[in-house]
Structure 1
Amino acid sequence: MRGQATEPFRRKMLFLPRPLKIAAVCAALMLILFSRRPEMFLHPEFWAEDGWIFFVQADTQGADALLTPYGGYHHFLLRIIAAAAAGLDARWIPVAYISANLLTVANLQWLSALGLVWLLVARDPLNKRQYATDGLLAGVIGLTGIFSILLTPLFVWRAWRRKTQPSMFLASVVAITAAIQIWTLLCSADDSSSGAWPPLEAIACLVGYRLPASLFFPMSFAVQLSRAALDGLGVLFVGLLIAAAAWKGRGQNIRGLLVAVIILLIAATIFRSRSHLWAFGSLADGDRYFFLPKLLTAWLLISGWSVPGLFRGAATATCGLGLLASAVDWHYEPLADHNWPEYARRIEAGEALSHIPVNPKGRSFDHPGRHRKEPLQMRSDNT
């Protein structure tokens, strides 16, 4: 009787207009974010590079900032958002950044990279509109971060396997953006990745700590695990990834691509940070580097629900652990309120300001004041 009573409601939900469904999903996401980080909505502040890179350079460089590299590569989508928000009163720019990209511009490159993964596993477009949309997404996201460099081999493999014009076109677009990012990296003086590779044991410990431990256990429990336990979790995690890719069942091609993306992202993170892996010791910091591997791991587990037998039970139980861990650590430590509206008022009045505080704690930036043309003197401790 209960199922019969809810059937009309289910049918209505199924046939809701697509824009309304999207709006409902976005509203739900915002409610979840608000419940976890209410201070980001109640008193928005800049986060790290949001202030001293994207906000300041959009103000001082204008359109030139769109093609200005940071960290040795382009952040095109982030620059577009900063340019679009530059016309607002400075007080509302942090609000615009939150509304446009779910909390911070600085972290958007990791979120937008999910678009490349989606294109990697998606079917070929069925019409010209989808064709153009895929190409536009690949072009913009490919010039946002270094993910196009990492994923180009997978797009080329995808095109070779499918042998279709759309797949070859998409691989070409991603490869072109990767070439641009590689050229920019080679021309950049920035090199924060010097140093020898860490030992395999340290890599296993990092993988175990930042992926299975932080994904499936509460933070208070994960930080107390011994190094040997973390080593074991890291080895087990990689082994299960390889097994998932090798399993000849339904969806093996997609599973293989997702596993390849996870491994490439982990390897790139270790390579980039190999001289300071100690920075990942706090689970409260640096999680953006593991956002995509965690999300794709969750995708793989959810896909396991369609497999009958013991594997379905194991996948369901593991997902339950992840949900329980998230519930235990639902609330983050509140970020500081630096009274940005007061600094914004002074910036709008044309006052040159130094040491404007931003989150995380201890960071600050300078602004020459709006409606002025003096060159900006960047603080050396923010680079």
Structure 2
Amino acid sequence: MSSDVSAGRTAVPSPAPGPARLRSIVRLGIVLAVGVALTLVRDWGRLAHPTLRSEDGPIFLKQAREDGLRAIVELYRGYLHLLPRLVALIWRALPLNWQPGLYAWSAVLIGLALAAMALSARTSWLLPHRWQREALFLLLVVAPSRDEVSGNIANLIFVGALGLLFVALRRDTASRAVAWGEAVLVAVLALSGPGAVFLAPAFLVRAWRQRSRQSSLLLVIVAMATLLQWGTLAINPRTGDSSGSPSVWVGYLARRAFTSAWFGANHLTPLWHGWWPLLAPATVVLVTILGLLGWRSRHRIVFAALGTGFLMASLVPCLAYYFMADSDRAQRHLLLPLTMITIVLLSGLSGLSGLSGLSGVRRLAGLRGTLPALAVAGLLLMLVAIGRDFVLSSLPFKPIGPAARCLATGRAPCLVHSNTSEWDFTLNR
């Protein structure tokens, strides 16, 4: 059986019968309820007083209403944004003054659903204990660096990359319907931003581990989406995004990409000025822990693929934006790297049968428990980052009612206000 697990071909265990099955369902329900409650508490300000934010208005809402289905193939910033386009098209027939709320709720619920993918037993080859997968789900719900992406559909392309990551880490399913549904999901997410490029190595490793038609199909979808996204970007290059450099990337890795996992992404830059003697060695310690966990794991090639994706996801924005290393902006680019860090730390606990009791303490204290102890320390320190970033900043409420009344009286074009004036736009219908 161990050889099958290492090859990634072990079948998902059948559901436990009787009372055990009931306890399993109740436990899942409790974990999901806690995740939903934490999400609502954290995002309530965005949900109770929704307002259009950044591209949600002038790009997705406007083009969905005025261009219809043609909006699906319209490029923005050089590539396709299929998931945000689909959300905007689904709600376009409903009243205009409902749109900000529908966008906010859709973004939050989609993000929650993608985080819940972490609970799947099909990742048990990597996270064998159920509590590891439950912890991953809950850590994603309260993860740092969510202020920029919460409650808006434009940044679903970055949240969607997490869904791609979880599919890449799954075993094959015996259900044909689930397999095809997964293929459709991968296609949608892969055509929504650049995430497929960063996760192509992970899908390659899945296809190598499984050696199945199912995993090979997913790899083909990701490869085709990668070629399409970067082909359109080459033909329609972004303008004004060439101020970055490799040196920015080095600074970003040192000052933000890793440090955010322990100290949060909000106000991290000013924190460096006063606390650099603490933050600099903390970054080195975290990188060392991650390196040791990856190197000592029997899934070394998987972590190599994740590391490659981590570096690619960090490099691309740093070649475009000069401010990536020394700014709190563009937190959206931290979502995927921070999730990868969390997965590696949780995987370091795979050798433990439990975290309670005298035996668990002995295992953590013993020689064999050195790496698990480091993983526990890393996860506990992540609570600092979670606490610093948990509260989301409030958005200026810009009611859309005046624009809706303007359109109703036939006085188009009508001005629509977004969260900031630079994203204000007009609607013709």
Q: What TM-score, normalized by structure 2, do the two folds share?
A: 0.73
Percent identity of paired positions between Structure 1 and Structure 2: 25
Deviation at 1:223, TM superposition (A): 2.8
1:244 maps to a residue whose letter is L
- Write out per-residue CA displacement over residues 9-30 of structure 1, whole angstroms, 9 at most, x where no aligned residue: 9974413498xx49x72x5444
Q: Which residue of 2 aligns with 1:357?
A: 417
Q: Is the 8 A contact 1:280 1:286 kept in 2?
A: no
| Partner deviation per Cα, 1:239-269 (whole Å, 9 max, x = no partner) | 544433322x344344333333222211222
* Residue 93 (structure 2) aligned to one of 76, 87, 90: 87
Distance of aligned partners of 1:333 and 1:282 in 2 relative to their CA distance in 1, 3 Å threshold: farther
Amino acid at match of 2:153: V
Corresponding letter in the other structure for 1:78: P
CA distance 1:59–1:143, change in 2 (3 Å): same
**Does structure 2 retain, via aligned residues, the 8 Å contact 1:208–1:230?**
no
**Are 1:15 and 2:25 an aligned pair?**
yes
The answer on whether the counterparts of 2:263 and 2:382 sit within 8 Å (CA) in structure 1 is yes
Report how many aligned residue pairs link the two structures: 351
Instruction: Determine if contact 1:52/1:366 at 8 Å carries over to the other structure.
Output: yes
Instruction: Return the offset for 1:357.
Output: 2.9
Contact preservation (8 Å) 2:251, 2:325: no
Contact 1:244 1:255 in 2 (8 A): no
Shift of 1:192: 4.1
> Is residue 172–residue 214 contact of structure 2 (8 Å, CA) maintained in 1?
yes
* Structure 2 residue 235 is the aligned partner of structure 1 residue 225: no
**Cα 1:306–1:153, aligned 2, differ >3 Å: closer, same or farther?**
closer
Q: 42-51 or 322-331, which moves further after superposition?
A: 322-331
Partner of 1:367, secondary structure, is strand
After superposition, the Cα gap between the structure-2 partners of 1:281 and 1:91, relative to the gap in structure 1 and judged at 3 Å, is farther
State the distance in 2 between where 1:109 and 1:315 align: 29
- Say if 2:72 is the partner of 1:35: no
CA contact (8 A) 1:355 1:364 kept: no
Q: Which segments of 5 or more consecutive residues in structure 2 lack a partner in the other structure? A: 1-17, 109-150, 352-362, 364-368
Match of 1:281 among 308, 316, 326: 326
Residue 249 of structure 2 corresponds to residue 243 of structure 1 = no
How many Å apart are 1:124 and its aligned residue? Answer: 1.7
Say if 2:220 is the partner of 1:210: no
Give the alignment's Cα RMSD to 1 decimal.
Answer: 3.0
Seen in structure 2, the aligned counterparts of structure 1 residues 230 and 269 have a Cα distance that, compared at 3 Å, is farther
Provide closer, same or farther for how the CA distance between residues 240 and 193 of structure 1 changes in structure 2, counting only shifts above 3 A.
farther
Structure-2 change in CA distance of 1:40 and 1:287 (3 Å): same
| Structure 1: gaps of 5 or more residues | 1-7, 371-383
Partners of 2:180 and 2:255 in 1: CA distance: 41
Letter in 2 for 1:363: E
Q: 1:236 to 1:79 in 2, by over 3 A?
A: same
Question: Separation in 2 of the partners of 1:245 and 1:320?
Answer: 19
- More contact order relative to length (CA 8 Å, sep ≥ 6): 2
Residue 60 (str. 1) matches residue 66 (str. 2): yes
